[in-house]
Every structure is written in C-alpha cells, then in structure tokens.
Amino acid sequence: MSVLVEVQGLKVYFPVRRFLKTVGVVKAVDGVSVALEKGETLALVGESGCGKTTFGKALLGAVKPFAGKIYFDGQEINSVDDRQLEAIKRRIGAVFQDPYSSLNPMFTIYRIVEEPLVVHGIGSPKDRKETVFKALEDVKLVPAEDFAYKYPHMISGGQRQRVAIARAIISRPEFIVADEPVTMLDASIRVEILLLLREIQRKLGLTMVYITHDIATAKYFSDRIAVMYAGKFVELGPTKDVLKNPSHPYTQALIDAIPDPDPRNRLSFRKVVGGEPPSLINPPSGCRFHPRCPFFMQGKCDASEPPLYSVGPDRFTACFLAEHQS
C-alpha cells in the first residue's frame, strides 16, 4: 500500500474580529497528523464545530493552514505554484452537505456535471458528452438522457446528491472529500446514497475522507475512523476496532450517547457525560476533554496535553490513561 495524502501537524486558525480589530483566533484545527493509504476511506467524526469541515477544506486547498503540511502524492499543496496546484486540484473531488445550494439552479444537470471538465479543459465537447452520460449512469441516474436536461428543482434531494457525486467523479479524481454528504437527506435514502458512494469508491479505487457526525453510518462506510474533539484527533484506528473497543473517554462518551432502535431504551437512563463542547478560542488547558471527562486526573490531565499514544495495531489515542499501555 502506498500513501496518497499525508497531513503533518496541520493547524488552521481563523481571526476573531470585533470592530475591525482582531481580538483572538479560533483554533479550528490545532495540530492534526494523518496519512491516507490509496483506496481507503477515513471517516472523520465529532460534534458540531469541532473542525471537521475546516480539516476537509484544508485538504481541498480551500483554506490556508496556519502551520503544518499537506502532501498530495508527494507534493506539498501550499508550496507548489499555481499551475501545479491546478493540476493537483484536478485529481481531487468534493461532495458537500447541501444538495440544494451546491447545484446552480440556472444550469441543467448536464451542464452542472460537465463543468469540472470545462474548467480543467478536459476533452472535446463530443468526448465530454460521452463522459457526462457515463457519469450519470455511474450514479444510477438512468436513463441518463431523461435526467441530463432537467434542472435541479425538478429532481428529488436524493437525486440531487447523485448529481453532486457525478460532478465530483467526472474528472476521474483519485481522492474525494465528502463532507456530510447525506445529512440533509431523508433517513430512507441516506443508506442508498452511501452504498452508491462506497460502490463507486471501490470501483474507481478512490481514496476518501467521509466527514460525518453520524457514527453509525461511519461504522458501515469507512475503513478507519478519526474522532475529533475541539480541533484535535483524540482517537484514530480501524473503524470496527475503535467502535467495539474505544480507548479514548470521549469516543466512549459519544458511543454511550447514541441509541440503537430498541424499545427497552425507554426503561433506563443513558449513561452520558455532562458539559458542552469547549470554546475553540480559549480551549481548556491540557487535555481539552478534561472538564467533562469521568476519568480526569487532577494535576495531570489539566497540566499538559496528552500525545497520541500507540495502543495496538494501527491504533492511537490521545489520553493519559493509555500512557502505560503503549
């Protein structure tokens, strides 16, 4: 296996302005490292505001890091010149959360899906037509000619998200960032779209980052999982292992909080940690989870930041409880 995308010590900060003055920074991503193997799907999970989208945008080259490096197939995307960056961007696709606002309502489905080819100057108009129809078939919008000349408002939300996927794969990217691709869709269609993404990802051998706050879907649609809390990865490992046997107290807290459909649930209380996700402007000292953690060790967890300890094959956790395990 070889590495396609490598992130080293990534930090993305946003200025907080009040009356035109910068009064602080939001540390949206604050020191994240991970390497993605070709063909694997990494799920990125965590609560609202923990920095998932910002991490995804950094991978797409859409926000500039404050520090750290992002290598795509060996090239550092923020050090290359514009022409090289353009060439890299051709090899990366994106699917976003909102199938309503992400498609231009004035364009036909055909034009929307064709656009990346036009932008990157790929193929003649005739070649492009063939490619567009093929992509529509890949996402099961068939017969393709029925959909190609419709406008976004004429199709359902699930079909719109298929169009977004078709657009993302049209230039045959090697890497896709899918940011909450099914969150806005009805429960009954979510699984269908995820299965489709998975099928396409396998067929084309794509490397993928699947961003979601829905851990149950991550369980079925990813190979590895990264759990993010307040701008940091707190746990990283093979999805099945992490969910079956979480090693970070925050991962455990997330899992405890999520019910499966079971009528016995109503008969008992759910084990749940208190508190709220912290501010990213003034995050807690030491381990950022320490104010909510049931295993908090005074003088240790609030004094210094736990590093990512290795805790088993391919598994990492940023918690002092693992200090002697590794």
Partner 1 sequence: MLLRVENLFLYYESERGIVRAVDGVGFELGTKETLSIVGESGSGKSSLALGLIRLPPKNTAKYAGEIFFDGLDVMKLSDEEFRKKVRLNGIAMVFQGAMNTLNPVIPIVKQVAEPLIQGFNIPKNEAHQKAVETLSYLGIKPEMASRYPHEFSGGMRQRVAIAMALVTNPKIVILDEPTSALDIITQANIMNLLKKLKNEIGTSYIFITHDLALASELADKVAIMYAGRIVENGPAEKIFNSPKHPYTQLLIESVPTLRAERVPKFIPGAPPDLINPPSGCRFHPRCPYMIKGKCEREEPRITTVDGDVRVSCWLREEM
Ligand X SMILES: Nc1ncnc2c1ncn2[C@@H]1O[C@H](COP(=O)(O)OP(=O)(O)OP(=O)(O)O)[C@@H](O)[C@H]1O
Residue 85 interacts with which of ligand SF4, ligand X, partner 1, none, CB < 5 to 8 Å by class: none
Q: Which of 263, 299, 313, 324 binds partner 1 (CB under 8 A)?
A: 263
Residue 156 interacts with which of partner 1, Mg ion, ligand X, none, CB < 5 to 8 Å by class: partner 1
Residue 291 interacts with which of ligand X, ligand SF4, Mg ion, none, CB < 5 to 8 Å by class: none
Query: Interacting stretch for partner 1, rule CB under 8 A, among 73-81, 118-126, 172-180, 188-196?
Result: 188-196
Residue 258 interacts with which of ligand SF4, partner 1, Mg ion, none, CB < 5 to 8 Å by class: partner 1
Residue nearest to Mg ion (CB): 53
b/e code 153-168 from CB counts within 10 Å (16+ = b): eebebbbbbbbbbbbb
Looking at the Cβ atoms of 1 and 20, the one nearer to ligand X is 20
CB atoms within 10 A of CB 321: 17
Rounded-to-integer distance, Cα 251 and Cα 74, Å: 32
Looking at the Cβ atoms of 233 and 289, the one nearer to ligand SF4 is 289
Residue 295 interacts with which of partner 1, ligand X, ligand SF4, none, CB < 5 to 8 Å by class: ligand SF4
For residue 163, the one-letter residue type is V
Q: What does DSSP say about strands 67-72 and 175-179: parallel, antiparallel, or unpaired? A: unpaired
Calculate the CA dihedral of residues 233, 234, 240, 243 and round it to 10 degrees.
-130
Name the phi and psi angles at 246, rounded to 5.
Answer: -65, 145
- For the four alpha carbons of 212, 9, 289 and 13, in that order, the dihedral sign comes to negative
Min CB(53)–ligand SF4 separation in Å = 24
DSSP string spanning 127-147? HHHHHHHHHHHHTT--SHHHH
- For the four alpha carbons of 157, 201, 33 and 314, in that order, the dihedral sign comes to positive
CA-to-CA separations, 92 to 15, 62, 110, 290, in angstroms, rounded: 28, 12, 20, 37
Q: Which of 21, 153, 266, 324 binds partner 1 (CB under 8 A)?
A: 266
**Site residues for ligand SF4, window 267-326 (CB under 6 A)?**
287, 289-290, 293, 295-297, 301, 306, 319-321
Q: Which of 53, 131, 239, 247 binds Mg ion (CB under 5 A)?
A: 53
Residue 191 interacts with which of ligand X, Mg ion, partner 1, none, CB < 5 to 8 Å by class: partner 1
Measuring CA to CA, which residue among 28, 30, 35 is closest to residue 9?
Answer: 30
Min CB(109)–partner 1 separation in Å = 16
Rounded-to-integer distance, Cα 129 and Cα 111, Å: 10
Residue 262 interacts with which of ligand SF4, partner 1, ligand X, none, CB < 5 to 8 Å by class: partner 1
Name the phi and psi angles at 19, rounded to 5.
Answer: 50, 55
* Chain positions contacting ligand SF4, by CB under 6 A: 248-249, 287, 289-290, 293, 295-297, 301, 306, 319-321
Q: Contact positions toward partner 1, by CB under 8 A?
A: 47-48, 156, 158-159, 186-192, 195, 213-217, 219-220, 243, 253-266, 269-270, 272-274, 276-277
